[in-house]
Every structure is written in C-alpha cells, then in structure tokens.
Structure 1
Amino acid sequence: MTSKLPAVLVRLLAALGVEHRYVLINGLGVILARGVGSGLILLITVLLMRTLGAENYGRFAFFLSVAFLAVLFGGMGVPVAANCLLPRYRQKGPAHRRSQFFLVGLVAVFFGSLAAGLISVTIVRLIHGGTAMIPFPLWAAAAYITATALCNFLAPACRAMDMPTTAALVDNIYPRVIILAGMGVLTAGGYQLDLDSLLILWVIGGYGAVAIAIFSLARRTELSLRIPRQLRFRQLRVWLSLSTTMMVTPMFYFVLSETDILCLGFFSTPTDVGVYNVARRLAELMQFAYVSVNTLLLPRIAAAHGERDRQRMQSIIDTMNVVVLVPAGACSIALVGFGPQVLSLFGSSFVSGYVVVLMLVVPRFIDLLLGPASEVLMMTGDQKLVARVNIVAGVANLGLNLLLVPFWGAVGAATATAVTMISWKTYLFVLCRRRTGVQTSLATRLRALFFNLSGARRAQA
C-alpha cells in the first residue's frame, strides 16, 4: 500500500512519525464521512428554507439549540467519558468493566436526556408564554432529544472500540440519509411538509442510527450486551464524578456555539434566528475535518500519555494539525470569496448574513491554528483545570451575549462569540504548553517538521 502513495505524502507522514496506514485508512474515511455529512445537512437546510421560510426555520433552529442543551445536561458527560474510559478498559482491563460502563451509560443517557428534555421544553414554553417558539408535541420533542443523546453516546463508544468509520457514519451519514429519504417520500406522495412532520422525520433518523450502532457494537466480541457481573455502587460514583467533570467542556462548547441562537430567540425574531443560524453553519464548515480527526485520534493521545511517550503524543498532534488546517484554509478562502453567492442559495433574504459569516470565520481559523489544546489537557489528566477555564469563559460568553444581542442582534452575537473564542483558545494553548510540554499549534512546529521532512527525504535517497 505504501508504494502506491504519492512520494510527497509518504515523506510527510514519515516526518510526522505516525503510522500512516492508520491515519490514511481511518482518518481519510472519517473525514470523508464528515464532509459528506456536512454536504447532506447543507442540502437539508436549503430544502427546509425553501419549504418553511426563514421564520419557521428559525423556530426549528431554536428548538434544536434547546434540544442540544437538554442532550448535554441529560448525558451527564457520559459520552465524553466514554472516549477516555473505554480505550483504557480495552488496554488494561478488566474486560467486564467495558460492558458495565457501556450498559450503564446507555441507560443513564436515555433517562437523563428524557428528563432534561421534558424540563427544558417546559421551561422555554413558560418563559415564552406558550408554544410560539417550540410548536411541537411534547412527546415528539422528547423522542428527538433522547435519540440525539443516544447517538452522541454510541458514536464515541464505536470509536473507542476501534470502529471509527462506523462512528462517523452514525454521527454524520445515517440520520441525514434517512431524513432525506423521508422528505423525498412525503414530497412524492403529495404531502405538505410542516414542522411536526419534519421533527418526526428527525426522530426516525435518530433512532435508525441508534439501531445500526447497537447492532454494529453487538457484533464485537470485546463488548457483551448481556447483563455483566454485579456492579458496585462505588464504581458508579467514580464514573459519575469523572463524567460530570468532563461534562463542563461540552457544556462550554454549547455556551460558545448555542448561546447566540438562544439569546436571539429570546431577544429577536425567528427570522433573525434563521438568518444567523445559516451563517453560523456555513462558518462551521471549516471545522468538519477538525471534529473528524479529533474524535479519531483522541483515544490514541490518551494511550500515548498512559505509556508516557511524549514524542508519540507530539507526532499525533502534528498529524491532526496538518490534516485539519489544509481543508480549513481552503474552506475559509471559499467563504470569504463566495459567501454572498452561497448564502443566496438559501434565499435572497439570507445574503445579509455575509457580515456574520466573516465575523465567525476569523475566530474559528485562529481556534484551529492553535490546535487541540483543550482536548490534550483533558486526555492527560487535567480535566478539572480545563473545566475551571471553560466555566469562566462560558460565563463571559453568556454575559457578552446578554449585553450585545439586545442592541446589535446578530452582529452582537457574532462579536461575543469571536471575543470569547479567541481569548479562551489562546489561554488554553499557553496552559497546555506549560503543563504537558507538547506544542499544539502547527505554527510553532513548522521548523521541526521541516527538518524531519528533510531527514525523511535523505533517508529515502
């Protein structure tokens, strides 16, 4: 296989020092799945905009943000803990602990997200004085939230069991293909799509992906879905303590990515929410490779840290950065150059979101340039430190949104996000460098990689 690769790619992978078979087979497959998934969600968004209009789409986007909040709280950090614990139990044992954690996590995520979903939707309706912003049946809203929460747990479980492609398909492809197929069937049958029927399609897509993931995991001999031996309460407390600590980081990402939508929903109109959400989703296209490679290689960073192999950790981080920054740079150039044309696909009223796209592209590129500092700190045992930093940054982001959105609307939300993201990532980059000794930014590693690349070229010669 190596002999068929372009010589430049072989030398680059040799310079990075990571086994390129793993990166090429799994990494490129995951990135491809993520890219196709991003394309599918854009297609679905265009169809929704053409079908619902900006106002109803804004209501749907607002509900998805509320659902995301319920998924994070209801999941109690268990999906994040799965990225850390399942690889550890695979490597060091005991074997039965894998099955115990998986089954306990499955039950906890379902019932936790169910309770959080019912509570969050009820609170929003009380604040808004009715169903104006969330006009769905309560059972359908709860069903969507539980399906999404289970997918969020099963995807990292698949990655931890060395099934990264399956995880990427569960995360990005299966639900969206089912949704598109359902929309096609309803449209062909002459049925007029409305908010209720669309949410039911989202529920079917989510539980379809859940069923596929569980079936795939059940085929693995390493993970038994039968009731394992008796579980001690002390072990449950250990898991709960770890997962709730790790929950702070995804909660911060929620605050960073969804507070703007929630504040616009409370202080502005559904149309503004729809326009801002489209602009935000376009800016997030820069990160599709980051999310894919990040979830693929995080367990390997944790394993390298457990082996006290700093050189391997650094090579994994370098690989992540190279694979991430190339598509991110291309995407940012495309958004800056052709943003108005892309926005016009959703409708002429969305071209006004170009300013917001520009304001969100810059901080996201800086975030990617500084590398996976937060994730490295979490995988090396500093999750409590990261949690404290994230709490401070989350409170600052919330305060800025509450201060700016009522006066400046979407521009205020984008400003709050940009200021918080750049400040937060810069501080974590410095902190990671001091605590771990590894460099998470490719910009600070260019010289070392250049010498490694030159050495690999001389060795091949």
Structure 2
Amino acid sequence: MGTRSAGAELLAGFGVTVAGRIAGRGAQVAMQAILARLLGVDVFGLYTIAWSAVRLLGSVGALGVPRALVRHGCRLGEDGPAWRPAGWLLLALGIAAAAACGALFWLGRSLLGQTVFGRPELADAFGGLAPAAAALAVLGVLGGLARALGRHGLAVLVQDALQPWLGLVLVLAFAGTGLGLGTALDLISLSCLLAVLAGGAVVAPWVVRLPRTGEPWSAGAPAALKFAGVTALTGSFASVTLWTDRLMLGALQPAAEAGLYQAAVQIAMLFTILGASVANASEPGAVRRETAGATYRTGVRGAWHVALPSAVFLILEAQALLGAIYGEPYAAADTCLVLLTLGGLIGVAAGPASAALVMGGRAKVWLLVVVAGAIGNVGLNLLLIPWLGAEGAALATALAQVPALAVGLAAVARVYGFRPRLEGVLKPVLAALAAGCAGAVLDPGPDTTGLLRLAPVAAAVFTAYGAALLGLGLEADESRFVGRLLTRLKPNPA
C-alpha cells in the first residue's frame, strides 16, 4: 500500500475533522441558544460558569493520553497502524484518570460554588455535572484512540459530535416543560454519559481487529508515559487559556456578563475548531519527520483560507447574528464577538505549530509556549475583566494569542527550517479585504432578525474571497488540490 503525500493526507483528515466539528458545534450552538432563551441572561450565565468548569476539568482529566495514543499507542507503517502494548497502558491510565477527575469534582463542589464563585446555588450544579466531567475525559481518550488508528471521521464523531447532538435532542424533548438550571445540567450530564456508551461501542471493534506489533509489554511504556506527562501539562495550560475567561467573569462580574460572553464565544469557537482540526489532522504526518514540514505549511494555508472569509462575515454581521440566534438581549455582545474573532484568526495560524512540535518530539518546547500563553491570559483577564467586564475578557483572550503565535512560529522555523513568505501572507489578506468590500455592499444592517437575510452577505464574502485569491494566484500545491477537486466534480461520461 503506497503512502499518500503529506498534503493529501492532511487535507483528507482536515476535511472530515472540520466538517464533523462544525456539525457538532452547530448542535451545541442550537442547544445553548434554546437554553439562553429559556433561562434568561442571568441564569444562562450560571449555566455558563458550571459548564465551563466541567469542560476545563474534563479536558485536563484525560492526562495527555489522547495525543500519547497517537504517538505511542500505534506503530504507523505503509500497511496501516499496528497496536503496541503501550496502548493498553495508556488506555487504562486515561480511564482511571477520568474517573478520578469526576470524583474530585464532586468532592469539591461546595468549595467551588461557595468559596471560589460566591454562589451557593452552583454547588448543586457542580455536583450534578460530576459524571459529565469524567465522561468528557473518556470521550477525549476515545477520540485520541480513533486518531491513532487513522480514523479521523470516527474520532470527530466520538469526541465532538455525539454529546452535542444527544444534548440537543434531550433539551428539545424537555423544552416544553419549563427547564430550570438544575434540569438543564442534568440533561447535559446524561448526554455525556450516553455519548461515552455510544463512543465506546463504535471504537472498540476497530481496536479488536487491529494487528499487534508483537513487541514485549515493556517496549515503549516509559517513553509513552513520559510523553503523556508532558502533553498532560501542555493540555492543562491550554485548557486554562480556553476556559479561564468565562470562569473569571463568573467570579469577578455578575452572572449576566458570563451569559452574554458565552453567546459570543459559541460563535467565535469556529476558529478554535479550525485550529484544533488542522492540528489533529496534522498529527500523523508530523510524527514522520520527512513529511512534518510539508504538513505544517499545508495546514496553515488550508485553515487560513477557511478562517479569513469566515472572520470577515462575522465582523460584518456580529450584532445581527447574536440577536437572531440567541435573542435580542444577547446582541449587546457584538463587540466581544469581533474581538474574539480577531484573536481566533491568530489562534488558527498557531494551530499546526502544536502538532509539528509535539508530534515531532519537541513537546517540551510547545509546553513552554502554552504555559507562557496561559499565564499571560490569566494576568490580562485579572487586569481587564474588573475594568471592562465581558469585553475585557474578549480583549484579554485575543491579546494572549499573539506571543503564543510568535514563539510557536519561531520554534517551528528553527526545527524545520520553515519561514513564511511575505507573498504567501499578503495574498489571503488582500483577498479578505476584497471579501469585506463585497459583503459591506450587501449588508442589510444591524437590525436584521432573520438568519436567511444574511445568506447573500455570506455568499458574497466567500465568493469574493475565492475569486480574489484565484486572481492573485494560488500556491503550487493549492493549484493541484483545486485541480483534483474539479476533476472529481465533473460528471462521468454516459
């Protein structure tokens, strides 16, 4: 079996991953839009605090096992992956850590609710979400296992799509009963547990059928545990960067500020999805040093071409989108959405750097980058949230992305000799400016209440971006990809 090129492998994985994650994010946005309207801004803010805490703990609880499974759980070869003994050790570690994560969350529910956030009503909320914390960590482990097998579609189904869609179905089923905060969180916890059961059922058969390498049990175990430890620290600090804004808003401002901010974050999460998707899709190619540099270059450009026109559209229609999706009170978070969008663009560019360094055996370098970003993020939030509220949290999140991107690019340039060309940066930026002009001409104004009225703006933005990019000239591998795509779209002759 021949190996595919780095670009073809990454594009295949990226396409499946980003499509699945956007589908999952769509369900998450729909579910939270229903809750936002039913609960009101204040109670939705309490929901945001509780959900952010459980997502933070669920991300940390996997203890670096998902990425360790990709690097050490399987041996990649031309004939496909083969299961290594270290994989069993990593699976056991991940599941045990997830169970401990849920137990610790339940034991510390009163401390978190009353002491940290000063809201006794959150103690019961945290207790009800303790099973969800463990379940989310297990879903992360199952997703890493599927990526190790080269099954990107299976990974995104398990880790990103099952829980949001199950949660949406449950919320819709009980929406007519007058949902309160406790019931809403119970439904979310149930959706997480059901997702674990379904995810385990679909991943297990692939592991059973996977050929074994025949290595002794001791082979690779020390390296796997060491790698998991470093990536656990990296993942912990990255999760702090991702979720600390909402938690600090909940601790330093009225709950309504967290509710408004959450509405903006849910839409801006598109850029986190893009960055994480291209990083995950890059991981198998980044493990092999001979393809790591090409994988990184292709990943950056591919994510950038999706992110830039998306950012143009969100900036033009921030107020209209928030009002149409979440309700008129949430349109006040439009400035937050614009700031988060600008920060998200920076994060998309940094996404492939994490895969290139971590999977290339330089996880400690990326750990230092992430630690610096987390410290900066927390410091900026402490400084800006008391002063500016939700908009301060958005500004802090955007600014904290800059040093992480700069250091990440410098590290990748030193390791792989890759340096971005000015021409390669200017072309997408000029295309984005053309897209912004096209969208502004068709902008129906901030009072738009229907999403369908925004469709012409979106079509104009993406069409203008693509046309401008073609006019300015594509890179060689981009031209080959467009050629292959057009060939596939041609109808077969009768």
TM over 0.5: yes
> Does residue 184 of structure 2 align to residue 205 of structure 1?
no
Instruction: After superposition, give the CA deviation of every residue in 1:227-253 in whole Å (9 maximum; x if it has no partner).
Output: x99966x97665443212112222222
> In structure 1, which of residues 274, 277, 280 is the aligned counterpart of residue 259 of structure 2?
274
Identity percentage of aligned residues: 22
In structure 2, the partner of 1:118 is: 106
Instruction: After superposition, give the CA deviation of every residue in 1:335-376 in whole Å (9 maximum; x if it has no partner).
Output: 111111111121222122111111121122133245522321
**Comparing 83-92 and 193-202, the one that deviates more:** 83-92
Q: Which one-letter code corresponds to 2:312 in the other structure?
A: I
Cα separation, 2, equivalents of 1:454 and 1:265: 48
In structure 1, the partner of 2:24 is: 37
In structure 1, the partner of 2:293 is: 314
**CA apart distance, 1:422:** 0.9
In structure 1, the partner of 2:334 is: 354
DSSP 3-state at the match of 1:76: coil
In structure 2, the partner of 1:46 is: 33
> In structure 1, which of residues 136, 146, 151 is the aligned counterpart of residue 139 of structure 2?
151
Query: Superposed, which structure 2 residues align to 1:67-216 within 5 Å?
Result: 67-88=54-75, 95-127=83-115, 128-129=117-118, 131-136=120-125, 138=127, 140-187=128-175, 190-216=176-202
1:70–1:120 Cα contact (<8 Å) kept: no
Cα separation, 1, equivalents of 2:50 and 2:37: 19
> Does residue 475 of structure 2 align to residue 450 of structure 1?
yes
Counterparts in 2 of 1:442 and 1:327: CA distance versus 1, 3 Å: farther
In structure 1, the partner of 2:344 is: 364
> In structure 2, which of residues 363, 381, 398 is the aligned counterpart of residue 401 of structure 1?
381
Counterparts in 2 of 1:78 and 1:195: CA distance versus 1, 3 Å: same
Cα separation, 1, equivalents of 2:481 and 2:276: 29
> In structure 1, which of residues 332, 335, 359 is the aligned counterpart of residue 314 of structure 2?
335
DSSP 3-state at the match of 2:150: coil
Cα separation, 2, equivalents of 1:454 and 1:173: 32
**CA apart distance, 1:124:** 0.9
In structure 1, the partner of 2:279 is: 294
Instruction: Give 5+ residue unaligned stretches, structure 1.
Output: 1-15
DSSP 3-state at the match of 1:247: helix
**CA apart distance, 1:274:** 0.5
Cα separation, 1, equivalents of 2:481 and 2:137: 45
> In structure 1, which of residues 47, 57, 69 is the aligned counterpart of residue 44 of structure 2?
57
In structure 2, the partner of 1:12 is: none
Counterparts in 2 of 1:301 and 1:213: CA distance versus 1, 3 Å: same
Counterparts in 2 of 1:119 and 1:398: CA distance versus 1, 3 Å: farther
In structure 1, the partner of 2:463 is: none
> Does residue 227 of structure 2 align to residue 258 of structure 1?
no
Cα separation, 1, equivalents of 2:478 and 2:169: 47
**CA apart distance, 1:271:** 0.3
**Comparing 411-420 and 376-385, the one that deviates more:** 411-420
DSSP 3-state at the match of 1:372: helix
**Comparing 345-354 and 331-340, the one that deviates more:** 345-354
1:78–1:153 Cα contact (<8 Å) kept: yes
Aligned residues: 431
1:373–1:440 Cα contact (<8 Å) kept: no
**CA apart distance, 1:261:** 0.9
Cα separation, 2, equivalents of 1:53 and 1:419: 30
1:370–1:441 Cα contact (<8 Å) kept: no
**CA apart distance, 1:134:** 4.4
**Comparing 365-374 and 84-93, the one that deviates more:** 84-93
DSSP 3-state at the match of 1:154: helix
2:323–2:331 Cα contact (<8 Å) kept: yes
**Comparing 80-89 and 428-437, the one that deviates more:** 80-89
Q: Which one-letter code corresponds to 1:288 in the other structure?
A: I
> In structure 1, which of residues 421, 424, 428 is the aligned counterpart of residue 408 of structure 2?
428
Q: Which one-letter code corresponds to 1:60 in the other structure?
A: Y
Alignment RMSD (CA, Å): 3.3
Instruction: After superposition, give the CA deviation of every residue in 1:16-64 in whole Å (9 maximum; x if it has no partner).
Output: 95463x5565442322212211211111111011111111111111112
Cα separation, 2, equivalents of 1:235 and 1:126: 45
1:439–1:445 Cα contact (<8 Å) kept: no
Cα separation, 2, equivalents of 1:329 and 1:425: 16
Counterparts in 2 of 1:123 and 1:326: CA distance versus 1, 3 Å: same
* TM-score, normalised relative to structure 1: 0.83
Counterparts in 2 of 1:287 and 1:216: CA distance versus 1, 3 Å: same
Cα separation, 2, equivalents of 1:442 and 1:86: 39
In structure 2, the partner of 1:324 is: 303
* TM-score, normalised relative to structure 2: 0.78
* Higher RCO (CA < 8 A, seq sep 6+): 1
Q: Which one-letter code corresponds to 2:161 in the other structure?
A: I
Cα separation, 2, equivalents of 1:222 and 1:389: 38
Counterparts in 2 of 1:134 and 1:332: CA distance versus 1, 3 Å: farther
1:34–1:288 Cα contact (<8 Å) kept: yes
Cα separation, 1, equivalents of 2:371 and 2:86: 30
> Does residue 205 of structure 2 align to residue 219 of structure 1?
yes
DSSP 3-state at the match of 1:219: helix
In structure 2, the partner of 1:414 is: 394
DSSP 3-state at the match of 1:248: helix
> In structure 2, which of residues 230, 242, 263 is the aligned counterpart of residue 245 of structure 1?
230
**CA apart distance, 1:263:** 1.1
Cα separation, 1, equivalents of 2:231 and 2:156: 22
Counterparts in 2 of 1:116 and 1:231: CA distance versus 1, 3 Å: farther
